[in-house]
């Protein structure tokens, strides 16, 4: 099932046992060591409260940190208030018994060297940082259910080289070879257009007009896909129901919804960046990205404060010149659980929209636009996560780093139906003790299944569900259960507690067919001075996605603060137009 293959060059560091890879890894760690303190007791819990910041950012996930990085790079006075002990939120890491585990998945898009869509690389560069990465030869290895055409199960590897992937998928569906090429080629039309634009705020008309003038073809191409979903494009070219299910799965593993619910612009980004920039793993673990960002932010005079639990967004009556018809209020600061108040000209929330507007603002102040958002979007499930340390010899040579296991198509979207597996120590052996590997298995799950239990029942259920999942994974890794030396199970309750995300949700998903990319709000909100960033804003879930939202947010805020040029007069009309279209979706 795990086909062996030859791969050399960039991939030479992959086989964890090889002396070459370990030596190479030691060099990498020495050359790119981050000064970020390893002892959390050394991390700052204070920042001045007697100043008015240009931006007060609630939350140090990748969305909040990117916004901070872009703003400090412009000379803005910024404070990031993070409730937890370390930065990165869903993209942080933690250490146990010699292992460094990524909290979320380990599959990084946007980490290449070229183009304009290598957003993680660019976010780090904006604060003078660059990280060593290890290229992954495949994005993912799919293990799909058997069918009459594929009695052993549909088995597909998404190779880094586009042509190799298309050839492999076409070999599985020879009658659809032309359709496969046409579908993915259309994704390239979207990606190539994205990859020629400067990535800034799509709700800033001066920038948008400038891009239309510089790149009219790219902008018109993207405009033509604004309201298109991926399923519609797939069905133009592909008829085989099993292949259409596969395309659904291609979307589901990152959007948690099927192709009909996934905007085509996002699919263009994901389905092509994996071949253009490739999937690249940061040496030292995913959390090292956030740590490097924090170093860059603080080196430029920004503050990142830990154990800073924001309880309230402070608002006051505002002038009614806002474009909105609602009572005008302006966000002016935040209050922490310990009573400290931080004041800012702009307040930026990296918490989810649910946590921001129901939790920090209070439902009585919920703007109409947020009520509409709640009709269009619902919370996606959370994840059940099993972090394991295993004996290395349970993984055959050339095992792929990421796997997806679906046993029946009906199960795909069900809780615990699709199993996701990431094994980042195959790329960076320093994450595990010698002779050991990390297996991180995770699967969508709802918080309701984990409520109302005694602590003992909760612990027993965690172990029972993890046993069941490990038994299913034996199909991919025979002998797995006997090879496990460390196992820790996180549930949706764990995600809620440590990531402060309501119900532990992975992010918003559309409640009905979305209007392509236009359904999702950008960064401004109808409360003056209050912005959202992260996966509750366009383009949604994903590290490179929330980094893009950080680029957009920083640009919009910088224009509103007068630090970048804009067209305030056109702003209002343009915002009104976007809202008009969105409210009708
Ligand atoms: N490989 C992958 O693609 C991968 C891996 C991991 C995570 N992710 C993605 O990362 C995305 C999330 O990124 P994000 O930046 O939107 O959010 P996030 O949840 O990662 O970060 C939000 C941060 O805000 C903090 N916070 C929340 N409420 C707070 C409060 N009241 N006071 C202070 N701090 C508070 C949290 O502790 C957290 O650190 C997810 O959608 C997921 O898709 C992707
Ligand atoms: C008018 C208007 C508004 C406009 C006009 C036209 C134009 C110009 C347009 C433009 C546009 C743009 C620029 C856009 C942009 C976009 C973007 C950037 C997007 C992005 C996206 C991204 C994404 C979505 C991503 C995602 C990812 C993810 C989620 C991932 C995940 C992963 C996981 C979970 C893993 C899996 C695992 C295994 C397999 C194991």
Query: pLDDT at position 528, please?
Result: 95
Nearest ligand 1 atom to the CA of 88 is 39
Per-residue pLDDT tens digits for 118-137: 999 999 999 999 999 999 99
Tell me the per-residue pLDDT of 477-500, one tens digit each, with 9 for 90 and over.
999 999 999 999 999 999 999 999
Query: How far is it, in rounded angstroms, from Cα 330 to Cα 222?
Result: 34
The ligand that comes nearest to the alpha carbon of residue 256 is 2
As a whole number of angstroms, the distance between CA 200 and CA 109 comes to 18
Given pLDDT bands bounded at 50, 70 and 90, which one contains residue 324?
low
Q: At what angle do helices 543-560 and 264-276 cross, to 10 degrees?
A: 110
The model's pTM is 0.93
Which residue puts its alpha carbon closest to atom 24 of ligand 1?
59
Kindly identify the ligand whose nearest atom is closest to the C-alpha of 440. Answer: 2
| C-beta 521 within 6 A of ligand 2 | no
**DSSP H or E run through 53:** strand 52-58
Spell out the SS3 assignment of 487-539: EEEECHHHHHHHHCCHHHCCCEEECCCCCHHHHCCCCECCCECEEECCCCCCC
Q: With a cut of 80, say whether residue 90 has pLDDT above it.
A: yes
Atom of ligand 1 lying closest to residue 65 CA = 15
Q: How far does the centroid of ligand 2 lie from the alpha carbon of residue 541, in Å?
A: 8
Would you state the pLDDT for residue 386? 98
Ligand 1 site, residue 300, Cβ cutoff 6 A: no
Instruction: Output the pLDDT for position 86.
Output: 95
The pLDDT tens digits for 157-197 are 999 999 999 999 999 999 999 999 999 999 999 999 999 99
Residue pair 545/266 in contact by the 8 Å Cβ criterion: yes
Once rounded to an integer, what is the mean pLDDT over residues 5-21? 33
- Evaluate: CB of 289 within 6 angstroms of ligand 1: no
* Average pLDDT across the chain, whole number: 92
The residue whose C-alpha atom lies closest to atom 27 belonging to ligand 1 is 351
Prediction ipTM score = 0.89
Answer whether 440 contacts ligand 1 (Cβ < 6 A). Answer: no
For ligand 1, whether the C-beta of 71 sits within 6 Å is: no
Max avg pLDDT among 42-46, 461-465, 579-583 = 461-465
pLDDT category at 437 given cuts 50, 70, 90 is: very high
Query: Ligand 1 pocket, 84 CB below 6 A?
Result: yes
- Best residue among 289, 351, 442, 537 to mutate for probing ligand 1's pocket (most ligand atoms within 8 Å of CB) is 351
The DSSP element (H or E) to which 19 belongs, if any, is helix 19-31
Contacts of 311 (CB under 8 A, 6+ apart): 335, 336, 337, 360
CB of 135 shorter than 6 A to ligand 1? no
CA–centroid distance, 544 to ligand 2, in Å, is: 7
Contact 552 CB / ligand 2 (< 6 Å):
no
The per-residue pLDDT for 41 is 85
- The whole-angstrom separation of Cα 225 and Cα 208 is 16
């Amino acid at each position: 099932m795990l086909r062996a293959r030859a791969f050399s060059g960039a991939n030479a560091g992959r086989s964890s046992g090889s002396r070459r890879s370990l030596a190479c890894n030691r060099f990498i760690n020495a050359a790119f060591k981050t000064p970020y303190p390893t002892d959390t007791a050394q991390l700052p819990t204070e920042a001045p409260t007697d100043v008015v910041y240009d931006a007060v950012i609630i939350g140090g996930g990748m969305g909040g940190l990117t916004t901070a990085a872009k703003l400090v790079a412009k000379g803005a006075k910024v404070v990031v208030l993070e409730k937890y002990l370390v930065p990165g939120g869903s993209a942080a890491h933690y250490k146990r018994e010699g292992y460094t585990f990524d909290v979320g998945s380990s599959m990084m898009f946007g980490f290449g060297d070229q183009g304009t869509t290598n957003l993680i690389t660019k976010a780090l560069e904006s604060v003078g940082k660059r990280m060593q990465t290890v290229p992954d030869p495949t994005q993912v290895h799919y293990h799909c259910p058997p069918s009459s055409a594929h009695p052993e199960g549909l088995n597909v590897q998404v190779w880094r080289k586009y042509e190799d992937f298309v050839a492999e998928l076409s070999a599985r569906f020879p009658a659809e070879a032309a359709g496969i090429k046409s579908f993915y080629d259309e994704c390239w039309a979207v990606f190539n257009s994205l990859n020629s634009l400067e990535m800034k705020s799509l709700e800033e008309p001066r920038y948008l007009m400038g891009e239309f003038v510089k790149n009219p073809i790219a902008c018109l191409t993207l405009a033509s896909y604004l309201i298109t979903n991926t399923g519609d494009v797939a069905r133009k070219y592909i008829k085989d129901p099993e292949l259409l299910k596969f395309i659904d799965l291609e979307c589901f593993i990152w959007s948690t919804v099927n192709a009909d619910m996934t905007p085509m612009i996002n699919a263009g980004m994901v389905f092509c960046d994996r071949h253009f920039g490739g999937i690249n793993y940061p040496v030292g673990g995913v959390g090292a990205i956030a740590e490097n960002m924090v170093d860059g932010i603080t080196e430029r005079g920004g503050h990142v404060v830990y154990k800073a639990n924001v309880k309230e967004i402070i608002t006051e009556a505002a002038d009614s010149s806002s474009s909105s018809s609602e009572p005008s209020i302006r966000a002016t600061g935040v209050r922490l659980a310990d009573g400290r108040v931080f004041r800012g000209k702009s307040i930026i929330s990296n918490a989810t929209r649910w946590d921001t507007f129901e939790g920090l603002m209070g439902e009585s102040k919920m703007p109409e636009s947020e009520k509409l958002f709640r009709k269009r979007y619902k919370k996606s499930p959370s994840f059940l996560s099993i972090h394991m340390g295993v004996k290395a010899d349970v993984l055959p040579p050339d095992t792929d780093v990421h796997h997806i296991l679906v046993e029946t198509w009906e199960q795909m979207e069900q809780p615990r139906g699709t199993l996701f597996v990431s094994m980042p120590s195959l790329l960076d052996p320093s994450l595990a003790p010698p002779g050991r590997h990390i297996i991180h298995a995770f699967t969508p799950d709802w918080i309701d299944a984990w409520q109302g239990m005694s602590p003992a029942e909760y612990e027993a259920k965690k172990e029972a569900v993890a046993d069941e999942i490990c038994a299913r994974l034996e199909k991919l890794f025979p002998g797995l259960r006997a090879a496990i030396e460390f196992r820790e199970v996180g549930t949706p309750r764990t995600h809620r507690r440590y990531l402060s995300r309501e119900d532990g949700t992975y992010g918003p998903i559309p409640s009905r067919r979305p209007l392509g990319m236009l359904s999702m709000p950008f960064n401004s909100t109808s409360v003056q001075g209050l912005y959202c960033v992260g996966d509750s804003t366009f383009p949604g879930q994903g590290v490179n996605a929330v980094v893009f939202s950080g680029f957009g947010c920083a640009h919009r805020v910088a224009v509103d603060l007068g630090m970048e040029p804009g067209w305030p007069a056109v702003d209002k009309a343009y915002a009104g137009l976007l809202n008009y279209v969105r409210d009708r979706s």
